[in-house]
Amino acid sequence: PVTRAAFEEALRLYPPAPSINRAAISDDSWTDAKGERVDIHAGMTVLIMPWTLHRHELYWEKPRAYMPERFLPENRGKIGRFQFLPFGAGPRVCIGATFA
């Protein structure tokens, strides 16, 4: 568990894939944490930035600090599925995550 936590904390601070990109296939919208709506039009490129997300003050306590204990089993459940994305998420999630 300690080795895994250190690995995951390293992936949080230095995600090897700092940007995950998608082309919108249809119109959509997204509401940010402050309640502001962002319209996404078909054909737009959407960049999801794990680097930024992983260091965001809304989601992490002391975001710039190296604190592997965040990822110990007793704390892991507090980390939201879409707040930590070193391997992406959804249908195109990294198939090598467990191997890595």
What residue ranges bind ligand HEM (CB under 6 A)?
16-17, 20, 86-88, 92, 94-96, 99-100
To ligand HEM, the closest distance from the beta carbon of 34 in angstroms equals 26
How far apart are alpha carbons 69 and 16 in whole angstroms?
A: 21
Structure tokens at 94: 């990294």
Q: Which is nearer to ligand HEM, 45 or 61 (CB)?
A: 45
Q: How far is CA 56 from CA 40, 53, 61, 70, in A?
A: 22, 5, 9, 15
> Please, what is the minimum distance in Å from the beta carbon of residue 71 to ligand HEM?
14
Q: How many helices (H) and strands (E) does the chain have?
A: 3, 4
Shortest distance (Å) from residue 94 CB to ligand HEM:
3
Q: Pick the closer one to ligand HEM by CB: 63 or 88.
A: 88
CB of 83 closer than 8 Å to CB of 49: no
Beta carbon nearer to ligand HEM, 79 or 94: 94
Residue nearest to ligand HEM (CB): 96
